[in-house]
Structure 1
Amino acid sequence: MATTAAGSVTRADLADAVHREIGLSRTESAQLVEQVLDRISDALIAGGNIKISSFGSFVLRSKGLRVGRNPKTGVEVPIEPRTVLTFRPSQLLREAINK
C-alpha cells in the first residue's frame, strides 16, 4: 500500500488497496472502507472498545478532574473530566514494527 508524502495512509489509499487486492469496483471499495470506519466509530461513540486480532485495541479511558498549569503564566486552571481514546498495538504488530 502506498502512503502519502507524510507517511499517512488515507481513506483513498485503503479503498485503492481493496480495489487492487479484492477486485471490487472503486466505488464499492470506497463504500466498504466507509462502512468499516463507520462501524468502528459507532462502537466507540456508544462507549465500547474495539479489538482487532493481530492488530490492536482502541480503548476508551475516563480521565478525572485535574489541575493544569498555564506554562507561560504559571496560573493553575482546572481541566474538566473527559474521555480519551487510546490505541494499544497487539504483540504481533509491536514485533513487526520493531524488526
Structure 2
Amino acid sequence: MNKADLIKSIAGKTGNKECICRQMVEAMMETIGEELDKGDEIVLQGFGSFKPWEQTSRTGRNPRTGATCPIEPRTSVKFKAGKGLLQRLNK
C-alpha cells in the first residue's frame, strides 16, 4: 500500500472526501517528522512508537570491490510495534 492507497482507504472508511483525508495524512506525517527532528519520541497507543536514534560512524565495505570505506554518523528512526498491533498480526 502506498500513500495514495492509504488516503483512498481512509476516505472510504470515514466517508470524507479524499482531499480532506490527504490533508490529514500529510499533516500527520509532517507533525511526526517535526517531532522526530526535535528528538522527541512519538507514541501511538496500541499501534507503536517512533524514536530517533543516533547511528555511530563505522567502517563499511563495498560489496562489488571489497574496498573498505567510512560510513558517517547519522540519525535514523526506530519503530517498535505496540501490543495491539502485534496481537492483530499474530491472531
| TM-score tier (shorter) | 0.7 to 0.9
Q: TM-score, normalised by structure 2?
A: 0.80
Give unmatched runs, 5+ long, in structure 1: 1-7
Matches within 5 A, 1:1-99: 8=1, 10-99=2-91
Q: TM-score, normalised by structure 1?
A: 0.75
Aligned residues: 91
Q: Which amino acid aligns with 2:40?
A: G
Inter-partner Cα distance in structure 2 for 1:71 and 1:24: 49
Residue by residue, what CA displacement relative to the aligned partner does 1:15-39 show, whole Å, maximum 9, x if unpaired?
2233233332332222122211211
Inter-partner Cα distance in structure 2 for 1:11 and 1:75: 38
Moved over 4 A (4+): none
Query: For 2:25, what is the secondary structure of its paired residue?
Result: helix
- Percent identity of the aligned residues? 35
Give unmatched runs, 5+ long, in structure 2: none
Query: For 1:87, what is the secondary structure of its paired residue?
Result: strand
Superposition CA RMSD, Å: 1.8
